[in-house]
Amino acid sequence: MPEPLLKRSLVDQALERLRERIAQGHWAVGERLPTEPELALELGISRNTVREAMRVLAFSGLIEIRQGDGSYLRGRADPSEALKAMSGCTLDQARETRRIIEVEAIMLACTRRTADDLAALRAALANSGEHYHRDLERYIACDMVFHQRLVDAAHNPMLSQLYRYFSQVVAGSLRLTLHPRQREQSIFDLHAGMVDAVEARDGAKAARLCRELIDSGTDH
């Protein structure tokens, strides 16, 4: 049995050990993890500490806790680490990443969108339009919904989940680039043009407008 963890920061140290085991392939993705008593014995810590560490791993998306069945490994990469990296990116890096995700997504949306997708996009656009020249924070929140709906219209669950994490970075960049009071209407109008292009299944036009929006200087 390994030496017990130090009494200070037990949960953090338990998390570190569990993440190491996951990264090293100790368990396969989809495999049922050892029980809390078994992990407590292996790590030399209490079941309560294991339980708290497992909750953190579940919140970050690394494991899935199934009531009455146990805990299962969902993946090896910790999304929380990705979020830390994203939060430290520059505006140029954020813009480059947006091009990669959103331009590809909107082209896929042009071929895969449904009538429900279009309705959701129109509703989100109308909602964000009400706040474009008003409250900045409210507009950003509504705009993030619009862009998430746009990515969701590509019908790629992995792409949608990736954008949910990345949208926090997009929101942060908007706070830095959008004027708190005056905003150009022509920039917002690009959103409507993108939806029209998606409805017409015009991938080339949708991609062009999306790039123009991302590279517009004020972003939105």
Tell me what pLDDT residue 218 has: 47
Element (H, E) at 64: strand 63-66
Element (H, E) at 71: strand 70-73
| pLDDT beyond 70 at 109 | yes
Distance CA 114, CA 173 (A): 30
Residue 141 is encoded by which pair of tokens? 């929140």
Distance CA 183, CA 18 (A): 48
Max avg pLDDT among 24-33, 89-98, 164-173, 187-196: 187-196
Please, what is the angle between helix 47-60 and helix 10-23, to 10°? 60
Domains of the chain by start residue, with CATH: 10-77 (1.10.10.10), 81-214 (1.20.120.530)
Across 77-86, 106-115, 133-142, 181-190, least confident range: 77-86
Task: Give the model's confidence band at 105: pLDDT under 50 very low, under 70 low, under 90 confident, else very high.
Answer: very high
Task: Give the model's confidence band at 83: pLDDT under 50 very low, under 70 low, under 90 confident, else very high.
Answer: low
Distance CA 87, CA 73 (A): 26
| pLDDT beyond 50 at 6 | no
For the segment 158-208, what is each residue's pLDDT rounded down to a tens digit?
A: 899 888 878 878 887 887 777 766 788 998 999 999 999 999 999 999 999
Q: Which residues contact 17 (CB under 8 A, 6 or more apart)?
A: 5, 43
Q: What is the mean pLDDT of the chain?
A: 86
Element (H, E) at 66: strand 63-66
Phi, psi of 183 (to 5 degrees): -135, 135
Task: Give the model's confidence band at 101: pLDDT under 50 very low, under 70 low, under 90 confident, else very high.
Answer: very high
Nearest to 164 by CA among 72, 116, 211, 101: 101
Residue 205 is encoded by which pair of tokens? 């036009």
Distance CA 100, CA 80 (A): 21
Q: Is the torsion defined by CA of 86, 91, 96, 101 positive or negative?
A: positive
Contact 54/14 with Cβ under 8 angstroms?
Answer: no
For the segment 40-80, what is each residue's pLDDT rounded down to a tens digit?
A: 998 888 998 999 889 888 877 789 999 889 999 988 776 66
Distance CA 30, CA 27 (A): 8
